[in-house]
Amino acid sequence: MLRPSRSWFLGPMAENEGLLSELLIAAVKSHAEWRRSFRPEDPGLLPPCQTELQRDHAAAADLRREFGSLLKALHGSVPVFSARYNGHMLSEQTIASQAAYIATMLYNPNNVSAEVAPVTTRVEAEVTAQLADMIGFDSSRCWGHLTSGGTIANFEALWIARNILYHPVAALLAARTLGVDVSVELLDGARAPLGDLDLWQLLNLRPSSSLNLWEKLWLAAPGPDVEKALNSHSLATLGYQDYSRQLGAQFGDELPAGVVLAAGTSHYSWAKIVAALGIGSNQLVVVPVDIHCRMDPDALWREIESLSWDRIPIMACVSTCGTTEEGAVDDLQRILDVRARAEAELGVTFHIHSDACYGGYAASLTRAPDGSRHTAAAVREECGGTSWPTDQWVRSVSALENADSVSIDPHKLGYVPYPAGAFLLKDRRGRELVATDPPYLAVAASVNDEQPVMGRFIFEGSKPGAAAAAVWLSHRTIPLTTAGHGRLIAATLRGARDLHALLGSSDFSPFSVVRLPEPDLNIVCFLLHHPALETLAELNALNEYIYGELSPAAEKPPPYIITRTRLTSPAYDTVLQSLLSDLRGGGGSYVDSSGQGITVLRATVMNPFSDVDNAGYLLGLSDAVRRVAVGFLSYRSVNVDSDPGSLLFSAAST
Amino acid sequence: MLRPSRSWFLGPMAENEGLLSELLIAAVKSHAEWRRSFRPEDPGLLPPCQTELQRDHAAAADLRREFGSLLKALHGSVPVFSARYNGHMLSEQTIASQAAYIATMLYNPNNVSAEVAPVTTRVEAEVTAQLADMIGFDSSRCWGHLTSGGTIANFEALWIARNILYHPVAALLAARTLGVDVSVELLDGARAPLGDLDLWQLLNLRPSSSLNLWEKLWLAAPGPDVEKALNSHSLATLGYQDYSRQLGAQFGDELPAGVVLAAGTSHYSWAKIVAALGIGSNQLVVVPVDIHCRMDPDALWREIESLSWDRIPIMACVSTCGTTEEGAVDDLQRILDVRARAEAELGVTFHIHSDACYGGYAASLTRAPDGSRHTAAAVREECGGTSWPTDQWVRSVSALENADSVSIDPHKLGYVPYPAGAFLLKDRRGRELVATDPPYLAVAASVNDEQPVMGRFIFEGSKPGAAAAAVWLSHRTIPLTTAGHGRLIAATLRGARDLHALLGSSDFSPFSVVRLPEPDLNIVCFLLHHPALETLAELNALNEYIYGELSPAAEKPPPYIITRTRLTSPAYDTVLQSLLSDLRGGGGSYVDSSGQGITVLRATVMNPFSDVDNAGYLLGLSDAVRRVAVGFLSYRSVNVDSDPGSLLFSAAST
């Protein structure tokens, strides 16, 4: 069983301050030398006159003073480096990423284009290949890039998926305009002339068939005519309103609005994304989850069946690898199997996106140092020879290679600074369906063929090359295998499982603990209850109170920091039923009549050193929870007046 | 006339290396002390055993080696710090922003929420207030935040504008459902019951009236019922397809698709944005520009008139303050006047967004050190007592205060590192129309009332608090007045005007120079021509060649770096006509029959020290251009075969 190296991070007592300082000084020195050696014959800044000198000194003094006050203010930050912090998904950053970010930021490259960032656009391409290799995408056929974060990566996935879904309609109408015959591969493998397909069939072609059509049209009638013909029928050009009218006019049927399937546990950004893209949040179809907070494949099948009866097109199914609330990893292989069944039995297909923003780095645990896949048994051995991770876990994470697109945030479990999200698309041709030409940058594409202008294909424009360098150096020195990141993942998963076990075995009397099942990743959710708390509102008030006392905003500095989340109906129905049943087993008669849901405490165990000296911290955390809970009882006896239920409820629902 | 302080930047010969190093060392020390003093009683990392020690040393050695190779590779970066670089909008960064970014990045705060970034979310609120004060928004009524860049800021502007436009429809239908009467202010100031308005009137209410409706509904029927009623009729919930059907069903008329008005010079991100939002690029209506590349207000009026005849709703008009190709500043006040006239004469109104991503910082030149507005005469005095900037320029920049929303990129003319864009909304209530609740962060809103969870209202999620600190410290030490950023703006504008003048007076024989008019900001566009080059294709080949030789990708390191852009029809028709006429005056008989447009060379003069020792650099640049052009003539005589025209054309059009 391998452990993270002590020299990967600054350390809880800044043990590696010397190393970090050394690298930063080297970076400034190297950068300054570069400036001086660029054109040594050029004049530097002229010696200032007396007045200017005074002004310059005053300006420097100003800067020192204001900077000093910033440094002081920063001491009010949240101590995410400490094992005492188990709140959100923040932690230490690798020294490699810190040093590379800072060194590169001095040059301030803009990765929108190689013309302004010749070094870091190459670095970004390498980062994409590193991530592709980790999850199992063929880096010669896929495409990827870094984003400001997971929201934009997810946004691009759906933006592209939508354009791929609707592309065959534009292709058919363009082919007619151009007088060109093209054939298309159907779901059963047979080929048919494109013109023979009805609207429903057009909207149920595999992503690769849709993109083959695009390629065929370009080959059949090269030149600006194809572009024009495709554009004049595409959703991107027409917009939803005219596109719907086109469907009505051409096919006599607009079909219902297209939908996106996602589990109730999917990230809240999906609601923003479907609203912004004009898809509409009504079209975000919530698929129920099982007791492990994973998308229920049987429920998914039923949903698809019902949508197909109503002839509702499906743009994409979003599967999550690492829910941000519970660290659940969907059984992606079973979701892929459901799609295969839908293709065979219903003639229905769709893009599958894995939102692996949080959990994507878990795939590093399935990679041997030579890059090959570990067997599940080998993964378990790396994790300490336990019965965990299960075969199903390894299969779920390995299945990322079969998704159509994947988003992964290096700034979450990759332990690098913000901003660093990543988007990976399995079939790189899809990017052409969202391409734009930035006039003042298009040049570089011709000058520098191997590094096309990023800005053509991505939603964002300017973006820091420093972020790419940070991720790159981190991956170079801490590889995406069990020799590197696999160790970090193993450490944080072990830490979470230890906490989960401890919460199950500790004495919280007079309270009892109810836990969610063992997490797939490193987030532990649980709640405390007490026989005197008879309603769900009171129970929630207790756990809100515990959270409040153990949050960074607490009145006195808390000994440990955790956070909490609220599980509500219908997204969490299966989980709620199970929790309510556990709670009733403990004596209460809890029902969620008002739809308020259940507050659970939530601990994200990010500490990369959780395999060293962890027992003390875990005991400290559970003890802190218990002591705060006891405090609630006195708080309650002082604060509860004639109508305790309503008071507590109002405290809980703010 | 004030000049930028020498201590604001590292300097072309890294003159301030000592200051930067001093600040970075202080930052690491301060951070390390914070870690050590957080819980001094906690154990640090245990002393490693022998095997681990060896492994840790090997890991540190790995890091040093790989970091060294990164530092070396970075020397291949583009020298944006040098006065020899006049390519894209990249330059020096202020030392304040570098030091603050780095110091804060060590803490890695995530400004999605105060719960994980108590210090830097406050800092971000201050940055917003600084920018609001500069442009003249009332910081107690407006709202703003930082983004990863201009694209996202512009995206949010249109996302919100669309929701404000369509909100009255949802409000009317919600009011019916709730059985509530509300009145609304019409364009002429009269009030009417909401139910009396027809669809066209509903889609032509002022943004403030639309938001008043939202507020009134909440007051008339507080609670979840309003939310439900509004949601069930809103575009965000229904999506475009069902929303259009709703319009048809409720009003017997879906109306044509809503449009966005933008000049041909607007940033290419707008094309991405309308495509992604589902608006459709067909609905991006291009308003012609005048010879200065500014949106033509008369053409805008004609466009609005024609749209109103066709009953096409207008979502927004995008005016640009600082086009990225030519540095043109729209006459925003005249655009506002056109809207006022449209309201009075046509009963038509719309949201006005100023895309001031590039030029927004120019407003600092209109602010006296006490924050009051300078008169145009005072602005001219600050700029050196010349006849420039004109009254019209000052009025255009001051008019930002009357836009409904403004985007400004600190990472462009704010001289701070990527990523730092900003979005400002004049009436903060608009953010509620795009709000979402992130379940696991909603907590902080109640705990920490004065700092609502950013993630509820912004499109992105996680984002670096370090970026906020960088902008903040830069603004603190280099204020957004003529005491600070105004000096930088003045310096860069003077540099560009000097270059423009020099290009007009220099001897380029055997070539002649044609220039675009004096720029409103710091971008100079020009092209060379020669009597022997008879077609536009040949002319473009010349200027593409010059660009190629003076670009970072040139085979041998170029003595100066510039870039180029292509002006095409119809977006640039007025400009093209003028250029073609100037060129024909020089002897050729150029026509743009194939629609290829004209390549112009483009120099962005960002150097903050352009007021010191500038003449030599400018002469060097114009000399370099001339010498490369002469090289083209020999290149041409060697390379041109039997069909020179087509060869040159194919070279130019790649």
**Per-residue pLDDT tens digits for B349-373:** 999 999 999 999 999 999 999 999 9
- Tell me the chain B residues in contact with residue A436 when contact means C-beta distances shorter than 8 Å: 268, 271-272, 275
CA distance B391 to chain A (A): 30
pLDDT (tens digit, 9 = 90+) per residue, B446-486?
333 344 567 788 999 999 999 999 999 999 999 999 999 99
A2, A3, A6: which to substitute to probe chain B, counting the most B Cβ within 10 Å?
A6
Q: Indicate yes or no: CB of B116 within 8 angstroms of CB of A31.
A: no
Q: What is the length of chain B? A: 654
pLDDT on residue A596:
87
pLDDT (tens digit, 9 = 90+) per residue, B181-236?
899 999 999 999 999 999 999 999 999 999 999 989 888 877 778 888 998 999 99
Number of Cβ atoms within 10 Å of the Cβ of B591? 10
- Tell me the chain A residues in contact with residue B473 when contact means C-beta distances shorter than 8 Å: 63, 66-67, 70
What does the block give as tokens for B495? 């540099």
Q: How far is CA B314 from CA A576, B296, B298, in A?
A: 46, 18, 17
pLDDT (tens digit, 9 = 90+) per residue, B125-175?
999 999 999 999 998 899 999 999 999 999 999 999 999 999 999 999 999
- Tell me the chain A residues in contact with residue B98 when contact means C-beta distances shorter than 8 Å: 105-106
pLDDT on residue B652:
34
- Whole-angstrom Cα distance, residue A52 to residue B142? 38
Number of Cβ atoms within 10 Å of the Cβ of B372? 11
Q: Indicate yes or no: CB of A436 within 8 angstroms of CB of B271.
A: yes
pLDDT on residue B384:
84
Contact A274, A218 (CB under 8 A): no
**Cα separation of the two ends of chain A:** 46
Q: Indicate yes or no: CB of A71 within 8 angstroms of CB of B30.
A: yes
Q: Is the pLDDT of residue B97 over 80?
A: yes
Of B5, B70, B103, the CB nearest to A70: B103
Number of Cβ atoms within 10 Å of the Cβ of A450? 8
pLDDT (tens digit, 9 = 90+) per residue, B40-92?
999 888 777 788 788 889 999 999 999 999 999 999 999 999 999 999 999 99
Q: Indicate yes or no: CB of A240 within 8 angstroms of CB of B242.
A: no
pLDDT on residue A502:
96
What does the block give as tokens for B229? 């009623």
CA distance B162 to chain A (A): 10
Dihedral of the CA atoms A85, A89, A91, A97 (nearest 10)?
180
pLDDT on residue A225:
83
Of B67, B72, B440, the CB nearest to A99: B67
CA distance A190 to chain B (A): 32
Of B7, B32, B64, the CB nearest to A60: B7
Of B12, B77, B469, the CB nearest to A119: B77
Q: Where are the beta strands (DSSP E) in B332-472?
A: 351-355, 405-408, 421-425
pLDDT on residue B53:
84
Q: How far is CA A59 from CA A55, A89, B5, in A?
A: 6, 39, 7
Of A17, A243, A463, the CB nearest to B28: A17
Q: Where are the beta strands (DSSP E) in B496-548?
A: 512-515, 523-529
Of A59, A116, A553, the CB nearest to B7: A59
What does the block give as tokens for A593? 């009549």
ipTM score over 0.85, yes or no: yes
Which pLDDT band, with edges at 50, 70 and 90, does B375 fall under?
Answer: very high
CA distance B86 to chain A (A): 12
Q: Is the pLDDT of residue B641 over 50?
A: no
Least confident of B409-413, B496-500, B605-609: B605-609
What does the block give as tokens for B285? 């209506």
Which pLDDT band, with edges at 50, 70 and 90, does B439 fall under?
Answer: very low
Point out the residues of chain A with pLDDT beneath 70.
1, 437-453, 586-588, 611-612, 638-654
Q: Indicate yes or no: CB of B436 within 8 angstroms of CB of A271.
A: yes
What are the residues facing A527 on neighbouring strands? A514
pLDDT on residue A639:
66
Q: Indicate yes or no: CB of B243 within 8 angstroms of CB of A280.
A: yes
- Whole-angstrom Cα distance, residue A84 to residue A106? 34
Q: Is the pLDDT of residue B415 over 50?
A: yes
pLDDT (tens digit, 9 = 90+) per residue, B553-583?
898 899 999 999 999 999 899 999 999 999 8
Write the burial class of residue A97 (CB in 10 Å: 0-12 exposed, 13-18 middle, 19+ buried): buried
- Tell me the chain B residues in contact with residue A13 when contact means C-beta distances shorter than 8 Å: 35-36, 42, 44-45
Kindly give the pairing relationship between strand B183-185 and strand B512-515. unpaired
pLDDT (tens digit, 9 = 90+) per residue, B376-401?
999 999 888 778 899 999 999 999 99
CA distance A188 to chain B (A): 30
Q: Indicate yes or no: CB of B444 within 8 angstroms of CB of A114.
A: no
What does the block give as tokens for B604? 């962005």
Q: Is the pLDDT of residue B584 over 80?
A: yes
- Whole-angstrom Cα distance, residue B497 to residue B522? 7
